[in-house]
Amino acid sequence: MSKTLTLKDIDLAGKRVLVRVDFNVPLDKETGEVSDDTRIVAALPTINEIIERGGKAILVSHLGRPKGKRDPKYSLEKVAERLQSLIGKPVTFVPDCIGEEVEKAVSKMNNGDILLLENVRFYSEEEKNDPDFSRRLSSIADIHVNDAFGTAHRSHASNVGVARYLTSVPGFLMQKEIEMLGMAIENPEHPYVVILGGAKVSDKIGVITNLLEKADRILIGGAMMFTFLKAQGKSVGDSLVEEDKIDLAREILQKAREKNVEFVLPVDTVIAKEIAAGSESKVVDLEEGVPAGWKGLDIGPSTIELFNKKLSDAKTVVWNGPMGVFEIDDFAKGTESIARTLASLNDAVTIIGGGDSAAAINKFGLAEKVSHVSTGGGASLEMLEGKEMPGIKSLSIEGGKKKRRLMVAGNWKMNKSPNEARMFAGFLASSIGNENAVDVVVFPTSLSVAGVADILKDTSIKFGVQNIYPADSGAFTGEISASMLSDLAVEYVLVGHSERRHIFGETCELTGEKIKSVLKHGLTPIFCVGETLEEREAGRMKEVLETQIRKGFSGLGKSDLERIIIAYEPVWAIGTGVVASPEQADEAMKFIRDLIASLYGVDLSESVRILYGGSIKPENFESLISMENIDGGLVGGASLQESFVQLVAIAESHA
Ligand SMILES: Nc1ncnc2c1ncn2[C@@H]1O[C@H](COP(=O)(O)OP(=O)(O)O)[C@@H](O)[C@H]1O
Ligand SMILES: O=C(OP(=O)(O)O)[C@H](O)COP(=O)(O)O
């Protein structure tokens, strides 16, 4: 049975750790200072664990909803100041979350340092979960820790997208939320009592429906109660009722009866004519009903007594939604009483949903007296509804198949003049959409890269060079270096292609030096390995691959490996029209993956992407990429024609 990796399973020393926290905290409207630092405090154990074990903590969060634009009102600068005073260590605030300034700040980090990046929602790509943005975010790190439970119901780049490129493990807060809420949903100890309140039935219908399957009692407070009471024919005066949910309320009451779930509604309520402090208020029995012109704004004393009785023997309690307008003291008694009752239930697991329920518990200073106060309102609600949580589903699992992002790469080799290359790049740009679920990369000749870069710059199609020499500059006639490529925004470099090895005599050692140079300049190597027909027929395929891998990777650490893509290109299938069978290809690539597992660990072997190369065509590509160990293709001849677009479409259908 595979399990989610945890922070304890990961070697953190020297690692650049991208930590997704939820620092979406309220800021004081006048001073801009943090007015409630609960969520910052909740992240401290994870941050301290990382820096105490020698990691470099690079924190990323959103704040508010700035709609993809830079807005000082939503800056995390003040949050960085509060974090620094809470953690008692310097926190460097970086006024961006991707790009040169971030890369420079990360490169200057020492083990144990803390960076907080600027609001990730200043980029619209965050909420779109844009793959390129996810890749850029993950490129500054070696591992991803997701401690943002409050955002776990969102599928965004910084919590979900990056998990395609980095191993992603839960932080301590995320782990505790999953354990506590997961227990309350899957395996609660009985009697199991759920208390629901807040404003609207429509907000909580999912929770009620889901928990009717598990709970023994459901206690209803807040404004929600009036929709149920009206469904029972009681008069509710001017209380907050969702008229369009009355039938639904009746159905729920009926379902509760069928399932033998005690559905407990208030028996009295505190009413007032205005929702304002100091307005005249009184308690009415709900059998008599709320008089016209009055609103029910809290549960009454008899209801408090009734609810306390229903809670007295509970073993598991979940509370989501205040019992009344708790923001105003006149109508906070119900909420405060329930909070105090839960705090007194020493034999029960007491779990508070996030949002206003958490605010209420904190308001009465009772957070330490309950088992768990969730840091996510919407997130805990959706989890209690049994909805899938993208920010949890994306976590890496041990031994399980981690979905790796597919790649289709076109190696143009020595084909297409610069003008022909520009023309063909223009065709690709117009034929391949920008919202790709797979990575598309082309490798023109070095002569054509600048022109192709210009054509592709506003598309999602990436590009690279077919070879480099491992020096940064010097007397190497005809060669180019990795250090020159940043001028052209090149991201990928083919290294060790079989033609470099067998036509130009490149040794494994030279290939290894090229890989180091590519990594040094922040580029992504596509490291080609493969055996010749003679070697395969002599039964030496594995020996040859092992030699090439070990020599190519010599001196590289896990963090380097996380940035490398491998291409298995059996020499006998390159340019010969003979394609490896899916089984042959998968066998070789499984061997490579197992070798990486033995050298660098399971989680890395699961996340490294391995492409197949050798006579790929639209008619054989589908069967290849459906294999367990094949994450795409390094395409030769077929990348020079329109068939390349078909290959991308095939990969998209598999993403
Ligand atoms: N009887 C009531 N009448 C009007 N509003 C109410 C009543 N009881 C609670 N509320 C309001 O409901 C709001 C919280 O509802 P909701 O957002 O659903 O809670 P949560 O965030 O905990 O899920 C609070 O602002 C509170 O003032
Ligand atoms: O505050 C949050 O949600 P919550 O108010 O439901 O707890 C989370 O930070 C998610 O924010 P979002 O609802 O803007 O995605």
The 3-state DSSP class for residue 151 equals helix
The 3-state DSSP class for residue 63 equals coil
Is the bond leading into 618 cis (omega within 30 degrees of zero)?
A: no
Measured from the alpha carbon of residue 38, the closest ligand is 2
Q: Is the distance from CB of 565 to CB of 462 less than 8 angstroms?
A: no
User: For position 400, what pLDDT does the model report?
Assistant: 42
Evaluate the CA torsion angle 176, 179, 182, 188 in order and state its sign.
negative
Closest CA to 87 of 155, 41, 138: 41
- Segment among 99-113, 132-146, 290-304 with least mean pLDDT: 132-146
The 3-state DSSP class for residue 167 equals coil
Using N-to-C axis directions, what is the helix angle for 172-186 and 377-384, rounded to 10°? 30
Between the alpha carbon of residue 353 and those of residues 371, 381, 615, the distances in Å are 11, 7, 56
User: For position 623, what pLDDT does the model report?
Assistant: 85
The span from the CA of 104 to the CA of 70, in Å, is 21
Between the alpha carbon of residue 445 and those of residues 259, 313, 485, the distances in Å are 70, 75, 13
User: For position 401, what pLDDT does the model report?
Assistant: 43
Q: How many CA atoms lie within 13 A of 111 on its CB side?
A: 10
The per-residue DSSP string of 536-600 comes to HHTT-HHHHHHHHHHHHTTT--HHHHTT-EEEE--GGGSSSS-PPPHHHHHHHHHHHHHHHHHHH
pLDDT digits (tens, 9 = 90+) for 528-538: 999 999 999 89
Q: Which residue has the tokens 């069978």?
A: 581
Pocket probe mutation, ligand 1, options 229, 230, 356, max atoms within 8 Å of Cβ: 356
Among protein residues, the one whose CA lies closest to atom 6 of ligand 2 = 378
Q: Is the distance from CB of 518 to CB of 467 less than 8 angstroms?
A: no
Identity of residue 313:
D
164 is in an annotated binding site: no
The span from the CA of 425 to the CA of 442, in Å, is 9
Q: Is the distance from CB of 585 to CB of 549 less than 8 angstroms?
A: no
The 3-state DSSP class for residue 198 equals coil
User: For position 331, what pLDDT does the model report?
Assistant: 97
Both structure tokens of 277: 């402090």
Which value does ipTM take for this structure? Answer: 0.94
What is the model's pTM? 0.64
Measured from the alpha carbon of residue 67, the closest ligand is 2
pLDDT digits (tens, 9 = 90+) for 231-248: 999 999 999 999 999 999
Among protein residues, the one whose CA lies closest to atom 2 of ligand 1 = 223
Evaluate the CA torsion angle 366, 371, 376, 380 in order and state its sign.
negative
Both structure tokens of 317: 């309690």
Q: Is the pLDDT of residue 542 over 60?
A: yes
In short, whether 24's Cβ falls inside 6 Å of ligand 2 is yes
User: For position 367, what pLDDT does the model report?
Assistant: 92
User: For position 436, what pLDDT does the model report?
Assistant: 74
In short, whether 322's Cβ falls inside 6 Å of ligand 1 is yes
- Distance (angstroms) between ligand 1 centre and the Cα of 322 equals 6
Task: Quote the mean pLDDT of the chain.
Answer: 92
Q: Is the pLDDT of residue 655 over 80?
A: no
436 is in an annotated binding site: no
What residue ranges define each of the domains in the chain, with the CATH number in brackets? 7-170 (3.40.50.1260), 179-384 (3.40.50.1260), 407-654 (3.20.20.70)
In short, whether 198's Cβ falls inside 6 Å of ligand 2 is no
356 is in an annotated binding site: yes
Quick one: average pLDDT of 405-429? 96
412 is in an annotated binding site: yes
Closest CA to 115 of 38, 19, 26: 19
> How much of the chain exceeds pLDDT 90, in percent?
75
- Distance (angstroms) between ligand 1 centre and the Cα of 216 equals 24
Q: Is the pLDDT of residue 335 over 90?
A: yes
The span from the CA of 213 to the CA of 228, in Å, is 19
User: For position 626, what pLDDT does the model report?
Assistant: 81
Identity of residue 388:
E
pLDDT digits (tens, 9 = 90+) for 430-472: 999 776 789 999 999 999 999 999 999 888 899 999 999 999 9
User: For position 532, what pLDDT does the model report?
Assistant: 93
In short, whether 67's Cβ falls inside 6 Å of ligand 2 is no
- Which of 228-242, 362-376, 421-435 shows the highest mean pLDDT? 228-242
463 is in an annotated binding site: no
User: For position 549, what pLDDT does the model report?
Assistant: 97
In short, whether 548's Cβ falls inside 6 Å of ligand 1 is no
Res. 398 pLDDT band, cuts 50 70 90: low
Q: Any idea which residues carry the catalytic annotation?
A: 497, 569
In short, whether 223's Cβ falls inside 6 Å of ligand 1 is yes
Q: Are strands 16-20 and 143-146 parallel, antiparallel or unpaired?
A: parallel
- Distance (angstroms) between ligand 1 centre and the Cα of 155 equals 27
Both structure tokens of 621: 């590509």
Q: Is the distance from CB of 297 to CB of 324 less than 8 angstroms?
A: yes
Closest atom of ligand 2 to CA, residue 64: 14
Q: Is the distance from CB of 395 to CB of 169 less than 8 angstroms?
A: yes
Closest CA to 214 of 228, 231, 241, 193: 193
Closest atom of ligand 1 to CA, residue 269: 1
Which residues, 6+ apart, have CB-to-CB distance to 178 below 8 Å?
A: 149, 170, 392
The per-residue DSSP string of 396-454 comes to -BTTS---PPPEEEEE--S---HHHHHHHHHHHHHHS-SS-SSEEEEE--TTTHHHHHH
Where does residue 583 rank: exposed (0-12), middle (13-18), buried (19+ CB within 10 A)?
exposed
pLDDT digits (tens, 9 = 90+) for 67-88: 999 999 999 999 999 999 999 9
Measured from the alpha carbon of residue 270, the closest ligand is 1
Measured from the alpha carbon of residue 21, the closest ligand is 2
Closest CA to 527 of 487, 557, 565: 565
Q: Are strands 462-465 and 492-495 parallel, antiparallel or unpaired?
A: parallel
Q: Which residue has the tokens 């509370």?
A: 319
- Segment among 181-185, 213-217, 476-480, 648-652 with least mean pLDDT: 181-185
- Distance (angstroms) between ligand 1 centre and the Cα of 253 equals 21
The span from the CA of 481 to the CA of 57, in Å, is 32
Between the alpha carbon of residue 252 and those of residues 246, 269, 431, 506, the distances in Å are 10, 22, 51, 73
621 is in an annotated binding site: no
Higher per-residue confidence, 414 vs 537: 414
Both structure tokens of 18: 């991208």
In short, whether 324's Cβ falls inside 6 Å of ligand 1 is yes
pLDDT digits (tens, 9 = 90+) for 295-334: 999 999 999 999 999 999 999 999 999 999 999 999 999 9
From the CA atom positions of the chain, what is the Rg in Å?
Answer: 30
